[in-house]
Amino acid sequence: MADVPENAPQHCPGTASSEAGKGSACQGCPNQSLCASGAVTGPDPAIEEIKEKMSTVKHKILVLSGKGGVGKSTFSAHLAHGLAADEGKQVALLDVDICGPSIPKIMGLEEEQVHQSGSGWSPVFVEDNLAVMSVGFLLGSPDDAVIWRGPKKNGMIKQFLRDVDWGEVDYLIIDTPPGTSDEHLSVVQYLSTSHIDGAVIITTPQEVSLQDVRKEISFCRKVKLPIIGVVENMSGFVCPKCKNESQIFPPTTGGAEKMCSDLNIPLLGKVPLDPTIGRSCDAGKSFLTEAPDSPATASYRSIIQRIQEYCDRKS
């Protein structure tokens, strides 16, 4: 794939193309004159620097969804907690949702800040074996808005991957924003020479969510990103008193199970609604330890085990 500048238009031919700076997609691009002159050539040198930095990270997992509000950050946080339950494993959680960084809140780290060391930025640790990095640590207040265009967001992601001193890590989980845009392209591009194990795609049962998730699956296939599987969040609700189950988000077209069957993708599991999940995230605590007997906890643990088995097969 031809190298694409950070602030390129949607159909950029890439700097290595003979059409660089000359194609119709180049009109109005701030890089047009540079590309046309041949001054911008070759891959971004940061890619090799990131490859070197990532050489100490064994497994890299992206958490994606085309839809907002389906629980990507909640799942990312609990995947990190679940993997870190094995004290022999080092786990890192990277939040690249630049405009909506919720990981600091969910992980109970809202008051923390990033510190610079001789070997780069030091991540914030929840436990001795669980490190976190987010743009939220760089803001003066949790209420501060991040009003950045694509190039600045991409530059931030580059810094996270290149300049954070992760150390020896067994699992790096990357929590992404909704969609198939700047942040997703940047992560895939910058890790192009590092091995990405694959993506876990999050959805809810209703068609309005599945429609966007199909676009995310298409994105993964186009950029040759392996798909570990799909998780259906908010999959039914069992009343704690009467024990009757309700479908809060009815799967009118068969839900994630039907979609996965149609697209030949593994369904990793279904996580039912549990009010304790929301309360745990607001309090910055792990739902897995707050509600160990919940059916949702059993679902999480089963899904996490399947992800571990997938990564082990890729080792």
Alpha-carbon distance of 59 to 171, in angstroms, equals 5
Task: State the DSSP H helix or E strand holding residue 139, giving kind and residue range, or none if neither.
Answer: none
Is the dihedral angle over the CA atoms 294, 62, 215, 73 positive or is it negative? positive
For residue 188 the two structure tokens come to: 């895939």
Q: Where are the alpha helices (H) located in 223-294, listed in sequence order?
A: 255-263, 275-283, 287-290
Closest to 225 measured CA to CA, from 267, 181, 259, 195: 195
Q: What Rg do the C-alpha atoms of the chain give, in angstroms?
A: 20
Q: What is the pLDDT, as a whole number, of residue 2?
A: 46
Q: What is the pLDDT, as a whole number, of residue 37?
A: 62
Residue 200 CB-density burial (10 A; 0-12 exposed, 13-18 middle, 19+ buried): buried
Closest to 99 measured CA to CA, from 61, 131, 73, 62: 73
Other CB atoms within a 10 A radius of the CB of residue 30 amount to: 11
Residue 12 CB-density burial (10 A; 0-12 exposed, 13-18 middle, 19+ buried): buried
Q: What is the pLDDT, as a whole number, of residue 285?
A: 96
Other CB atoms within a 10 A radius of the CB of residue 27 amount to: 9
Per-residue CA distances from 311 to 59, 61, 102 (Å): 7, 9, 26
Q: Please, where in the chain does CATH 3.40.50.300 lie?
A: 46-314
Q: What is the pLDDT, as a whole number, of residue 104?
A: 97
Per-residue CA distances from 250 to 139, 203, 231, 255 (Å): 38, 13, 16, 8
For residue 293 the two structure tokens come to: 């007997």
For the segment(s) 46-314, the CATH number from 1.10.287.1770, 3.30.230.20, 3.40.50.11030, 3.40.50.300 is 3.40.50.300
Reported in sequence order, the residue ranges of the chain that DSSP labels E, i.e. its strands, are: 57-64, 91-95, 115-117, 120-122, 124-127, 130-134, 169-175, 198-203, 227-238, 245-246, 267-273
pTM of the model: 0.86
Which residues neighbour 15 within 8 Å (Cβ) at sequence distance 6 or greater? 2, 3, 4, 5, 35, 40, 41, 42
Q: Say which amino acid occupies 198.
A: G
The pLDDT profile of the chain, 315 residues, written as one tens digit per residue, is: 345 555 555 566 665 566 666 777 677 665 666 666 655 555 678 899 999 999 999 999 999 998 999 999 999 999 999 999 999 999 999 999 999 999 999 999 998 988 887 788 999 999 999 999 999 999 888 889 888 888 889 899 999 999 999 999 999 999 999 988 889 999 999 999 999 999 999 999 999 999 999 999 999 999 999 999 999 999 988 777 776 778 889 899 999 999 999 999 999 999 999 999 999 999 999 999 999 999 999 999 999 999 999 999 977
Q: What is the pLDDT, as a whole number, of residue 23?
A: 73
Q: Say how many Å lie between the first and final Cα of the chain, rounded.
A: 25
Evaluate whether 228 touches 220 at the Cβ level (below 8 Å): no
Q: What is the pLDDT, as a whole number, of residue 149?
A: 84
